[in-house]
Structure 1
C-alpha cells in the first residue's frame, strides 16, 4: 500500500492548484477526481501511520480508482501519455 501511495503522489498531480486542474472544457472533472483521490491517499496514509493493515481488496480498490483517474487526467492533457503508475506498482 505504501508503494501505491508513493506512486500516486509521484505520478499524478496530487496537491496541484485548482487552476491547473480546471480547464473549463474537460472530460470528466479532473478537479473533483483529484480531490477524491487526494482524500483517499491522505486517509490511507493516516491509517498506515496508525498501524492499520490494508486488506488486498483495499489495495485493489485504490489502485483501480487511481488507474481510472490517471486515464481521465491524461485525456485532459494534464499528463504526458504513459503507462498507468498503478499497473507498474502492482506488477
Structure 2
C-alpha cells in the first residue's frame, strides 16, 4: 500500500533530517576548502524542512509536485554536501 501525500512528505523530511549533518558545529562545516557554501546549503534545507513541517502540522496536504520539488532540492543540496565531504 502506498503512503498518502502527507506521510510521503513526512518520510522525506525524516530521511533528510537523518542524513544531513544539521548538528555539526560551524567549525567542522566550514573546515578546509569549501566547494560552494555547505553552511548556506544546510540553512536552505533546514528552512524548507521547517516550513513543510509547519504546514503539515496545520493539516496541509502537499501536492505531488511539492514532494518532487523538495526531493529534488534536497538531492542537489546533498550533492553539494558530498563535494565538501559532509555526507557519504
Which TM-score applies when normalising by structure 1?
A: 0.81
Equivalent pairs, count: 80
Alignment of 1:1-91 (within 5 A): 1-80=9-88
Structure 2 runs not aligned, ≥5 long: 1-8
Structure (1 or 2) with the larger CA radius of gyration: 2
Structure 1: distance between partners of 2:62 and 2:23: 24
Distance in 2 (alpha carbons) for counterparts of 1:19 and 1:56: 37
**Is residue 15–residue 38 contact of structure 1 (8 Å, CA) maintained in 2?**
no
Q: Are the counterparts in 2 of residues 37 and 66 from structure 1 also a CA contact under 8 Å? A: yes
Q: Which runs of 5+ in 1 are unaligned?
A: 81-91
TM-score under structure 2 normalisation? 0.84
Structure 1 residue runs of 4 or more that deviate by more than 4 Å after TM superposition: none
